[in-house]
Chains A and B, each alone.
Chain A
Amino acid sequence: MKLIQNRRAATDSWQLFKPVPAEGEAEVTFTAVPAEGDAIVPLAQWQQQKDALLARQGRTGVWLDAHEGADLIAADALSLPLIALNFPKFGDGRSLSTARLLRERYGYQGELRAIGEVFRDLVLGMHRCGIDSFALRDDQDVDDTIKALEELPLAYQASVDQPLPLFRRRAG
């Protein structure tokens, strides 16, 4: 796994768990999470198995798919060490709003990680929305992607990385 954390190449201690796709009428099932090791589980699994997951030795993080809103994890956000946001398709920006909401509205301080289509030229926008860790798509180059975070250092609008819009800083 290629990972960037806080603008640096990093090794990953977390394992990502995906739900087992349902066949026919069957309900979605979840992959069993071992007692040891840090695990990122789908939101639905977290909601159903929260106590069991917390009873494990390893830490537990939660990932939200793009259609799952920040409000669904808001109540637990402050106690979670990691939340991951999925970008299922190049060009799907739903999780960008989720990221800002988690940071700005729900006060989430832990690691916020992008997963899925995490591509060099998209990380800057993600970063500005409060995402500080990037699980890159396999074909992406870590060093080159870190450089992308330095592009467009000037921005007009307020966001997580810069809570005041330029016009308030310009005025000052």
Chain B
Amino acid sequence: MYIYDEIDQRVVDQRVAQFRGQTERFLAGKLGEDEFRQLRLRNGLYVQRYAPMLRVAIPYGILSSKQLRMLAHIARKYDRDYGHFSTRQNIQYNWPKLEEVPDILADLATVQMHAIQTSGNCVRNITADHFGGVAQDEIVDSFVWCEIIRQWSTFHPEFNWLPRKFKIAVNGATSDRVATHVHDIGLHAVKNEQGEIGFRVVIGGGLGRTPIIGPVVREFLPWQHLLTYLEAALRVYNRNGRRDNPYKARIKILVKETGLETFRAKVEAEWALLKDGPNTLTDAEVQRVEARFPKVAYLSLPAADAGLKRQLESDTAFRNWHQRNVQAHKVPGYAAVTLSLKKTGVPTGDATSAQMDAVADLADQYSFGELRVSHEQNLILADVRQSELFALWEKAKAIGFATPNIGLLTNIICCPGGDFCALANAKSIPVAAAIQERFDDLDYLHDIGELDLNISGCINACGHHHVGHIGILGVDKNSEEWYQIEIGGNQGETRQGQIRNPLGAAIGKVLGRAFARADVPDVIERLIECYLARRDSDAERFIDVVHRIGIEPFKESVYGAQSAKAAASGSTAPALSVPA
């Protein structure tokens, strides 16, 4: 992670003081409810269903063990002893007291953390590929670019009151692990024919009510011009984005209504006037930022560890875990390990303070004191020696973080839903739990193979259901909770290396009528059976089959042959209970 210098520290301290003043004025009745709302939102403080919710930024998902211990401390001291890792590489606390929030922020500032711009209509926490810096297919270290953008966007005076929230994602590798096509701006590092580094700029993707796969606005933006280009795009949006209707205020709607060509022309025209100005990035600045990320002192090790090979041969459970939860590393002898927060029966993404402390210890012991949070709501130790994987696995098992399900059906992405979120139409956590229980058999799970299942409690889509291979959406019909299911969504090509049929980002298609909560696990099971019966080999994933044969066979498997048509017509009659 980036280590603050004295200036970075002062910026955060200033903000704590400013926010303390705002909170005090509110509590003293000198600041109206509405205005305080806007101001506290700029600092990640919501008022939720039962209590305030504080969202703390984990900039682009990297943490030191010291920072994680602070997050544990905050859970213990100010909250109910746990935190929730969100899909945007943040952590949320559901039970803080408003008057204590300034103290929480002051505690955070002591370990170079904050809640700046984690909500509100401004540039949010930048998200990054969670294998940044270690992936074998890396082009640039995405974290360096995220930090440059973080500094540029922090309290940007012109872009602090945008029409709507603004999410930027940076992907530094060939494969796309941040879903660049469903962000307001997605930056995908590329190397051109001359070997120069730049970014492919995708603008106007997004999920929510109007899911859109963002178009490429510029194929190659030389890195020097990153900030001037962002200023141009944000300025066009700030001036022209709709403010009459919050549902139409995201940049994706502006791009769509303006038309891609016209939108691009506007951005390029604005950029032409900003290009080569003072915001043009320099080698010196990139190197300065790079140098503030501590260098990992890798040992020179053989590419394959002999002991590991023996352990893999002799222990099936370890082999399963290794196959799912361990990723190749660009440095010989090392591996990246995903600690699964998706144990059956535990709300997705939740971790207790004791677990956080335990993971901090693991990070210190096995991974240079650093870890990452993925948008799939897991924790990653990115720099583990192969020879230590077995020992790490045993310790991870002891704290319940070794479920070997990364990339599998039970690695569910799930928003807090109706249990916590005031906007929810339906609960999401119990749905995830019921599915995890149904697919509890590990052999079966591994046989099904790679499958992303995502759940959102309402169309705000915090659970990214549109880009799940299977997506589940909570809907409200006559004040009852129902669940709509879509299939065929994809967040982008996340796999490294030689891949059969690489698949781009795609939005899922709705199967038909919604289902009662109790029926959801059955429906998922039928979809899986349909897939297993039709795949050509176990190398063909669920998503590959959906893209090959379309959604009709799946519809039939769920609704039966005759009713598939009726379901497709979008009738609003109550859902059929799925036949046993």
Contact = CB atoms under 8 A, between A and B. Distances in A.
Interface stretch (A14-22, A40-48, A76-84, A155-163): A155-163
Contacts of A1: none
B278 A151 contact: no
Contact of A157 (B10, B38, B152, B282): B152
B447 interface: no
A34 interface: no
A126 B157 CA distance: 7
B295 interface: no
B278 A69 contact: no
A93 B282 contact: no
A155 B10 CA distance: 10
B285 interface: yes
Contacts of A154: 7, 10-11, 14
Contacts of A28: none
A170 B7 contact: yes
Given A90-B38, A156-B152, A171-B288, A96 B158 contact: yes
Q: For chain B, what secondary structure do more than half of its interface residues adopt (helix, strand, loop), or is it mixed?
A: helix
A96 B277 CA distance: 19
Contacts of B18: 151-152
A6 interface: no
Interface string A91-123: 111101110100001000000000000010110
Contacts of A152: 11, 14-15, 18, 155
B235 interface: yes
A128 interface: yes
B238 A155 contact: no
A96 B238 contact: yes
Interface residues of A, number: 37
A125 B160 CA distance: 8
Contacts of A94: 238-239, 243
Given A165-B278, A165-B279, A155 B161 contact: no
Nearest to A70: B239
Contacts of B565: none
B293 to A, nearest CB: 16
Given A105-B273, A157-B152, A93 B7 contact: no
B417 to A, nearest CB: 28
Contacts of A91: 38, 121, 161
B22 A121 contact: yes
Contacts of A157: 151-152, 156-157, 279
Given A97-B238, A121-B39, A171 B284 contact: yes
A54 interface: no
Nearest to A159: B157
B17 to A, nearest CB: 8
Given A97-B158, A156-B151, 11 more contacts: A96-B158, A96-B238, A152-B11, A152-B15, A154-B11, A157-B151, A157-B152, A165-B152, A166-B151, A167-B288, A171-B285
Interface of B: 7, 10-11, 14-15, 17-18, 21-22, 34-35, 38-39, 121, 151-152, 154-162, 227, 235, 238-239, 243, 273, 277-279, 281-282, 284-285, 288
